[in-house]
Amino acid sequence: DLSTGIIYRRRIATCQNVIPEILRKVTTCNFSISQVSVLKVPDIYLEEESWLNMEKRNMAMKSHCLTWTQYASLTEESVFRESLENPNWTDFTQKGRISVTGAGLLNCVLEAFAQSFLKQGVKK
């Protein structure tokens, strides 16, 4: 954007399906036939948007899952900005939300797995 100097990007990312095979098999009992095939996809698609403001030296990112939208909602927001303590440091804040529906009693199990997976990504 020439008026603000903010660089905006929107992209689609592909990730390997990381749901363990055991969860895919167990959830088969709770999903109808048309829903089961959704869990067995090899790839998961995410949409990511970012706004880079070179003048203010910060970048904001938002992403959400495009796969399984009828059963799960996964969103993540991150902000990178210059540290107030030291301009050579970066402050990073991140928040996310996970919600699974349609899997009966396994909703909590799938949500816990997704949360664990995201926490591993944050540590990296």
Query: What is the structure's pLDDT at 42?
Result: 77
pLDDT tops 90 at residue 26:
no
Looking at the structure of the chain, the number of domains it has is 1
- pTM for the model stands at 0.69
- Flag whether 106 is in a domain: yes
Q: Can you list the alpha helix ranges (DSSP code H) found in 1-124?
A: 21-27, 33-39, 107-123
- Flag whether 100 is in a domain: yes
Mean local confidence (pLDDT), 35-53: 80
Selected residue with higher pLDDT from 39 and 9:
9
- Flag whether 1 is in a domain: no
The rounded distance, in Å, linking the Cα atoms of 124 and 116 is 13
Give the residue numbers spanning the domain of 69: 6-122
- Flag whether 20 is in a domain: yes
Query: What is the structure's pLDDT at 100?
Result: 76
Identify the bridge partners of residue 16 per DSSP, sorted by sequence position: 43
Query: What is the structure's pLDDT at 34?
Result: 46
pLDDT tops 90 at residue 82:
yes
Query: What is the structure's pLDDT at 41?
Result: 74
Mean local confidence (pLDDT), 115-122: 70
